[in-house]
Structures are given as structure tokens and as C-alpha cells.
Amino acid sequence: MYPEEKFYRLTAIAESLLKQKQYAQLRGMLLPLEPADVAQLMDSLSGESIPLLFRLLPEELAGEVFVELTPEHQQQLINDFSNSELRAVLDELYLDDAADIVEEMPPDVVRRILAHAAPEMRTGINQILNYPKDSAGALMTTELIDLEQSMTVSDCFQRIRREAENVETIDVCYVVDAGRRLTGFVTIRALMLAAYEDTVGEIMDDDPISAVTQEDQESVARRFGRYDLTAMPVVDTGGRLVGIITADDVMDVMQEETTEDIQKMAGMLPSETPYLRSGVRQISASRLPWLLLLMLSSTFTAQIISSYEDALAACMVLTSFITMLSDTGGNSGAQSSAEIIRALSLHEIGIRDTGRVLWKELRVALLSGVTLAVVNFGKMMLVDRLLMSNPAVTVTVALVVSLTIIVTVVAAKLLGALFPILANQVGLDPAVLASPFITTVVDALSLLIYFGIAVLLLHI
Amino acid sequence: MYPEEKFYRLTAIAESLLKQKQYAQLRGMLLPLEPADVAQLMDSLSGESIPLLFRLLPEELAGEVFVELTPEHQQQLINDFSNSELRAVLDELYLDDAADIVEEMPPDVVRRILAHAAPEMRTGINQILNYPKDSAGALMTTELIDLEQSMTVSDCFQRIRREAENVETIDVCYVVDAGRRLTGFVTIRALMLAAYEDTVGEIMDDDPISAVTQEDQESVARRFGRYDLTAMPVVDTGGRLVGIITADDVMDVMQEETTEDIQKMAGMLPSETPYLRSGVRQISASRLPWLLLLMLSSTFTAQIISSYEDALAACMVLTSFITMLSDTGGNSGAQSSAEIIRALSLHEIGIRDTGRVLWKELRVALLSGVTLAVVNFGKMMLVDRLLMSNPAVTVTVALVVSLTIIVTVVAAKLLGALFPILANQVGLDPAVLASPFITTVVDALSLLIYFGIAVLLLHI
């Protein structure tokens, strides 16, 4: 059963229970649900019922649900909370979640949150908010268990037992020196396997893979996956341990970044708001710029065509293949660019591979182009000429179109592969230069090639 | 510094050390590297040096590196291994990794591996290989720590200490009843916080989020992220605990699935081999089918154009805007479909939202369409008519083109949003119906609209 199906049903039940004021039953229905599910349910209900529903939840669940709600509803609840209610919810939050929430709130709400947060949380939030958006520092939580080399395994167990409640993971503990510089890490597994009297120094792994607070979250996510980590320590520029990033945060980042790439490759400005929650103006704003740019840039194609008007007038049948040619070129280019952009973002290829890539694309292009050309030639002869008995479709015309296909596909695939690599090299985002842009360039090219060949072979 | 940069340097050094037979130094260079890095280094070196390099590695590192090598090189090494070497490497592997490797090998190699694997590993591999590709069963490892409700916390610690070495994570332990049915889970954190004499039954969480062996890995990954899990238990259809899936496996799945989506959206058949490792024929095979299909399907557009040849002949200037119109339509449609496909795959929207989606797209389309039309009208009047002093570009012609833009953008965005939702509903992959396909449909539409309006307003 698809999740959405499940929620349409849950929502229906919840709504009727709300109408009948069957709050006990409603609570009973919510208790066994996962926080994320309760949150989605609440988000799908009408605004006024949210505070009511929220107050039905036991404290701990309430905290976890709160994190998953939309910023709009979080704000609504905070405004609705009494100070003690607000304090209760904040106490249930992990620091990095609290920071994420604060980031979304207007100044007055932020002030109120900071005013009622526990002192450590307040300092933590302020610290995290000082890091650039989408940086490791903004992603991390500062709640972690740090150990010193001199501690024995049983010391560690004591500290872990004492602090486990306040940290997101105890899977890995990090080792710092007197200057709080990160010197190594110990997995809970290593602790389990060691003798109680062993010291941390003896059992720790002394080259942890760490992130610097300023590092971009995308590169953090990439290394996280590459090295199969469950947690990554974050150090400041002085090498001092300041926080930790956990796998669940990284999965969210991977999802975000993918959405961004897909949006850019489809010629949109990336937006972080989920589709249904973005307004019409917001969506249009993210789509219009490229559409406009691309529309205007096709002035060139228009110029090219009109400059060949006489040639076309002399052989009208040529016009009917213009769109097919520009589509085939556009699609070929889009394929190459999509593949290269993905390979770049997975760091499978770099600038040094340009030669290999182009050589590969050239051969792929020739193989594809010739195949397409042959099929097209046959199709024009059989379908257009014989079947549709269109006398204008001569062997020469079919030849012109087919040759154009080959040259266009080759040009499209080479450009489609080259643009992203160059963009990446000069520090531009390759995804932005993707399909739509290449389509336009390839259009102009394919037309020039088309008419060039036509004039040559048809003497028009 | 970008990873690739780092590796070009490492490779250069390694190659020179190999030439000078400086094996001790070479080993020294490899030791501090992460397994994934050593593997990438070896993959980038010439085949013959791989066994040599591999034998320089200490046993444990060797195992971890082996997992990360390309199937080709894994096979090369296995063929090169003595039986004892093979046994040594296999002993270092986690079961799920071993299963992944076996899946890639030809029958004779598989037989050799199974012959030298420890009995438990052999049964485990066979079990995992029996599950469908890309299913939870194929993704899981069967090495896990299971507890019974009657055990005390100190019993648990003992068992964990005993088994920690052979399992991938001890973050979560799963609780089974006498019939091995999954009844709950205990996190290492809960164990740490509990008193030694507490029983598992008292401290366990009794509704674990689990996957069924047959479940598709993509839906496993989605729930993993949705519920912020670090591990997910896998049960058979009888509810019996058979394995566990860990976060690192899920991250790989997320990456795979994203690549597939991007390839499909660019009109390619998905392929799992990284770009540089796929052959020309393989790449062409994944790209040609759609190119062919799309080229042939634009026969319709050709038909449409040629059926309006007289109209065009009467007003040649119209031809020069054909590509601009079909591109604008195609881009508009591609934007909507990309956004909807992503929202579908994140389960942000479902079939029930069709109404809301279309209503949103309609308003976005009108807003974008009108803007584009106005800009285009101005551009045609100022640039084409005045600047390029092309008398053929009359107000009526500009009007025809601008009106076509509005209608086309609306049609394109509605179709671009509708197709993926419908595809998803009837169980087709929405990504496959994406941009290239929509482009073709929109092309035909935009031409019909264009000529329709032209004939109407220009009386040709």
C-alpha cells in the first residue's frame, strides 16, 4: 500500500473523530503512529485542529512530531503555546533540530524560543546559526560524547551511561586532547570488545574522517557515503571538535541536493519548498527566467531560418523536418549532458578525463547517428514517399535530412558532454548548463547544418 | 581539494614507485588510505600491477579494499588467488558484501568462492542470492545480534561482546520469540541506560519498523529516510527475522535510484555501470531506443507541417518561429514533468492530488505564458520588425506567435504534470514518460495550435 493511500484514510478517520469530539479515541489512534506520520497527518488537517491534536500527544512523542511539522504549523503552535508548553517541547528537541526550526522562524518567534530554551541549548543554537547555510557547521549537532586518551574503557562506559540520553548517537565517541583538538575516535563496538582496564589511547582509531565547519554539506554527504560512515565529527579551522553529523541528517541532504540537480537540469531555479507547499508566484519565479532566456535566445534560430527563406520556398518539403531534426539533436545532447552531469556530481569523472569522455561520446554519437540516419532514410522513402505518396520527398531530400542527423547528433553529443565539464572547471554549476541550454545551441547548429547541406546537395 | 585531483597525484606516485619496485614505500603510502581510496587507486592502475599491490596490503585492509574494487578486478584477483589467499579474503568480508560480489561473478568463479567460504557464509550467500535483485532480501546481511525477551541486560552485553566482531552494526539489536518472529528491538543506548538486571522484555521497543524480504529496495530506502533509521530489520513472509539492512547500504541505493531517475528523465535506459566503465556499445544501447522512438514519432509533426505547406508558402515568415515555439513548449512541459516526477518519487503527491496539481499548473502556466507572450510580442515588434526591418513581421504575425505561446505553454504544463501522475497510477515508471516524450507530444500540439491560429487570423 502506498504511504499516501494510508494517509488519506487516516486523515478521513481523524477528521470524523475531531468532528465528533472523540478525543480519547483520536489519541489512541495517534499513539502507535511514527512521529513523521503524525506530523504528515496534522499537516494535512485544517489549521485550527492542530493545537488541539498536538496537545493530545504524550510529551516525548509531541517533541518528535513537532520537528517533522511544516514551518508554518510549527510557528502557529509556538504562537499558541504557553511559556511552559514551549519549554516542555524545546526540552524534547535535539539541538540540531531546534536550530533548523529557529532558522525558519521570524525574529519575534526566534526571540521567544531563545528566551525559553535551556541555557546550553540557547548557546548551541546561536553557535550553529552562525555557520553559513548548507555548511557542515549548520548541519551538525553540538551534543556529542567526547573522551580523553587517558580514560579507561570502564570510565567511558560510565560517561556514556551518563550522557547517552542527551546525544543523538553513541555509535561513535570522539577523542580530544587537552586543547579539545580531535585526535581520534572509538566505536561503541571497540569499547564492547576491549577489556575494562584498557585505555582509550590504546584502542582508539587515530585518523578520523572529519569535516570542517565551513565545508559544503554536499561534499560532506559525498564523503559520508564514500566511506560508509554512520557519523562524522566536525572540527573548527583550529582542528577543535565542535560537533557531529549523523547519517539521518546526511540522507536529508542527499535528497535535497538531488531535487536541486533535477530542477536545474529541467531549467528551473532550485527551490527547497515541497511542490504542494510552494505558491503559484514562487513556482513561476523559479521557472520563468530560463523560459524567457531560452525563448529570446531562439531569436537566432528564427534569424537562421528566415535567412534561408528563399531556399525553403524553393523546396517547401524541407520545412517539415525542421522540428524532427532539432528534437533529435536536442535529445541526443540532453542524454550526454545528463550522464556527464551525474558522473561529475558523483566525482566519477574530472577535467582530466575530458579527452576520454569526448572520444567515448564521439564513437557513441557516430554509432547512434548513423543508425538514426539509416532508419530515417528508409522511413522517408517508404512512409513519406511511397505510403503518403509525397513526390517532394526525393532521394536527395532524404539524403539531406539523414546526413544532417549524423552531423547534428555528433555535434550535440560532443557539446552536451563538453559544456558540463567546462562549467564545472570554471566553478559554475554544470547542472545549470544542462538540457534546455544545450537544446537551444543545438537547434541553431542543426539548422545551419541542415540548410548548409541542403543548399549544397539541392543547389537551391 | 577535489577527490579526483588527489587521485591523479596518488596514481602518479604509485606508478613511479611500482616502476622502481619500491614496494616497502608503496605499502607505506597505502596503509593510511581509506579502503575506498585504495580501491579507486588500484582500479586506475594497469591490470597486471593489481595482484602485486593487493598482496602488499595487511589482511584486514585487503578485505575492505577488495569489496570496493570493480567486478572485473575482483574476478582477476580471485583467479589469481591461491585457495588459502581466497579463504583469507573471504573471512574478512561481511556476508552482504560477499553476496554482492558473488552476484557479479561467472558460474565457475562463484563455485570456487562457495567452495572456499566458511559453511555459515556459504549458506548465507545462497540464502541472499535467492531473493529478487533490488529486493530487501538481496540488500540485507544475515549477520545480526538477536536477543530474547527473557535475557537480562548483562546477558545482552555478554552476547554483544561475543558477537560484535562478526556483525556490521551493534547500534540496534533485535528481539525474537521462540519461533524467531521479530517482536521488538533494543538500542545499544537503551542497554547502556538500563540496569544490568533489567530484562530485554522490560526495556525493548515493541513495534520495530521492518521490511519484508520481497520489498523493493527503493521503498526500503524511502522509509529508512522518512523514519531516520540507522538500521532496519528484514523479516520473511512469516514475520521471522532473517536479516538487517544498514544505513550505508541504503545510501548506495539512494544514489543508484537517483542516477536511474536522471537517466530515464533524459530519455535513456538506466544502466548501473559508471560512465567511464561502460563501453561504447553499452552506452549507445541505453540511448538509441528512445532517440529512435522519438525521431520516428516526430513523423507526425512532419505530417502536420507539410499539410500546412500552402499556408506556410503564403506566409513564409511563420516558418522561422516553428523551432522557438516547439522549444518553449517543450521546456515548459519538461519543467512541470520534472517537478511532478520528483514529488511523486518523494511521495509528496499522489493521484488524489491530481486536481490540486493541475489547478496549480494551470495558474503557473497562464502567468508564465502571458509573460512570455508579452515579451515575445515586444521583441518581434522591436527586434524583428524595426531593428532587422523585416516587413513580413506584421502585428498580426506577432499576435499569432504570441497567442500560440500562451496556449502551448498551458497545454505543455498541464500534460507535463498529468502524464507522470497517470503513469504512476497505472504502475508505469513516471520518469520514463518524462521530458523527451512530452517534448514530442507538445511539438505536435504547438504546431497544430500555431497553424490553427495562423489560418484564423491571417486568413491563409
Nearest to A339 among B164, B207, B263 (CB): B263
End-to-end Cα separation, chain B, in angstroms: 63
Range among A218-222, A403-407, B115-119 with highest mean pLDDT value: A403-407
User: B158: nearest CA in chain A?
Assistant: A192
Q: Which of B409, B218, B200, B224 is nearest to B324 (CA)?
A: B409
Cell numbers 532524404 correspond to A398
Asked if A292 reaches chain B (Cβ–Cβ under 8 Å), the answer is: yes
Asked if A299 reaches chain B (Cβ–Cβ under 8 Å), the answer is: yes
Determine whether B127 is exposed, middle or buried from the number of CB atoms within 10 Å of its CB (0-12, 13-18, 19+): middle
Cell numbers 526525393 correspond to A394
Q: Which chain A positions have a beta carbon within 8 Å of B290's beta carbon?
A: 331, 335
Please answer yes or no on whether B192 and A248 come within 8 Å at the CB atom.
no
Tens digits of residue pLDDT in A19-38: 888 888 888 888 888 888 88
Does the structure show a pLDDT above 50 at B1? no
Q: Which of A187, A229, A199, A198 is nearest to A211 (CA)?
A: A229
Please answer yes or no on whether B292 and A372 come within 8 Å at the CB atom.
yes
Tens digits of residue pLDDT in B182-204: 999 999 888 888 888 999 999 99
In which element (H, E) is residue B211 found?
Answer: strand B211-212
* CA-to-CA separations, A263 to A258, B132, B346, in angstroms, rounded: 9, 32, 14
Q: Which chain B positions have a beta carbon within 8 Å of A346's beta carbon?
A: 255, 259, 274
> CB of A360 within 8 A of CB of A327?
no
Nearest to A276 among B228, B283, B349 (CB): B349
Q: Which chain B positions have a beta carbon within 8 Å of A306's beta carbon?
A: 316-317, 319-320, 390, 392
Taking the CA atoms of B362, B367, B373 and B376 in sequence, report the sign of the dihedral they define.
negative
Give the separation between CA A290 and CA A269, rounded to whole angstroms. Answer: 8
Please answer yes or no on whether A335 and B299 come within 8 Å at the CB atom.
no
- The total of other beta-carbon atoms located within 10 Å of residue A423's CB is 20
Residue A297, all three cell numbers:
535566445
- The total of other beta-carbon atoms located within 10 Å of residue A225's CB is 22
Residue A79, all three cell numbers:
504562537
Distance from B108 to chain A by nearest Cα, in Å? 31
Does the structure show a pLDDT above 70 at B433? no
Tens digits of residue pLDDT in A179-202: 899 999 999 888 888 888 999 999
Does the structure show a pLDDT above 90 at B362? yes
Asked if B1 reaches chain A (Cβ–Cβ under 8 Å), the answer is: no
Interface test with A, best of B327, B371, B406 (most A CBs within 10 A): B327
Please answer yes or no on whether A283 and B360 come within 8 Å at the CB atom.
yes
pLDDT at A4: 62
Nearest to A316 among B157, B312, B353 (CB): B312
pLDDT at A1: 40
Determine whether B337 is exposed, middle or buried from the number of CB atoms within 10 Å of its CB (0-12, 13-18, 19+): buried
Tens digits of residue pLDDT in A238-288: 889 999 998 888 888 888 888 888 888 777 777 777 787 788 888 888 888
> CB of B272 within 8 A of CB of B247?
no
**How confident is the model over B429-450, as a mean pLDDT?**
79
Does the structure show a pLDDT above 70 at B79? yes
| Range from B348-362, B363-377, B403-417 carrying the lowest mean pLDDT | B348-362
**How confident is the model over A160-164, as a mean pLDDT?**
86
Asked if A350 reaches chain B (Cβ–Cβ under 8 Å), the answer is: yes
Q: How confident is the model at residue A424 (pLDDT cuts 50, 70, 90)?
A: confident
Q: Which of A333, A289, A295 is nearest to A434 (CA)?
A: A333
Please answer yes or no on whether B193 and A284 come within 8 Å at the CB atom.
no
Tens digits of residue pLDDT in A332-357: 988 888 888 888 887 788 888 899 99
Asked if A386 reaches chain B (Cβ–Cβ under 8 Å), the answer is: no
Name every residue whose Cβ is closer than 8 Å to that of residue A31 and which is 6 or more positions away in sequence.
A58, A61
User: A171: nearest CA in chain B?
Assistant: B171
Q: Over pLDDT 90: what percentage of chain B?
A: 25
pLDDT at B304: 87
pLDDT at A151: 95
Asked if B263 reaches chain A (Cβ–Cβ under 8 Å), the answer is: yes
3-state SS, residue A212 = strand
Q: Is the pTM of this model over 0.90?
A: no
**How confident is the model over B153-176, as a mean pLDDT?**
88
Q: How confident is the model at residue A233 (pLDDT cuts 50, 70, 90)?
A: very high
Interface test with B, best of A5, A249, A291 (most B CBs within 10 A): A291
> CB of A167 within 8 A of CB of A148?
no
C-alpha torsion angle, residues B280, B281, B282, B285 (rounded to 10): 120
pLDDT at B4: 62
> CB of B250 within 8 A of CB of B221?
yes
Does the structure show a pLDDT above 70 at B434? no
Does the structure show a pLDDT above 50 at B278? yes
| Range from A9-13, A330-334, A430-434, B96-100 carrying the lowest mean pLDDT | A430-434
Residue A94, all three cell numbers:
535535539
**How confident is the model over B250-270, as a mean pLDDT?**
82
Q: Which of B224, B273, B270 is nearest to B250 (CA)?
A: B224
Cell numbers 540507522 correspond to B230
What sections of B242-321 are H helices per DSSP? 247-265, 280-297, 299-307, 309-314
User: B281: nearest CA in chain A?
Assistant: A364
Listed in order, strand segments (DSSP E) in B305-439 are: none
Tens digits of residue pLDDT in A59-86: 888 888 999 898 888 999 999 999 888 9
Asked if A382 reaches chain B (Cβ–Cβ under 8 Å), the answer is: no
- The total of other beta-carbon atoms located within 10 Å of residue B419's CB is 22
User: A444: nearest CA in chain B?
Assistant: B323
The DSSP call for residue B400 is H
Asked if B320 reaches chain A (Cβ–Cβ under 8 Å), the answer is: yes
Does the structure show a pLDDT above 80 at B46? no
Q: Which of A239, A259, A219, A64 is nearest to A139 (CA)?
A: A219
Does the structure show a pLDDT above 90 at B398? yes
| Sheet architecture: strand order including B241-246 | B211-212, B231-235, B241-246
Interface test with B, best of A187, A275, A288, A406 (most B CBs within 10 A): A275
Q: How confident is the model at residue A3 (pLDDT cuts 50, 70, 90)?
A: low
Tens digits of residue pLDDT in B299-342: 788 888 888 888 888 888 888 898 889 888 888 988 888 888 88
| Range from A306-320, A369-383, B361-375 carrying the lowest mean pLDDT | A306-320
Cell numbers 565517541 correspond to A173
Tens digits of residue pLDDT in A81-123: 998 889 888 888 888 888 888 888 888 888 888 888 888 888 8
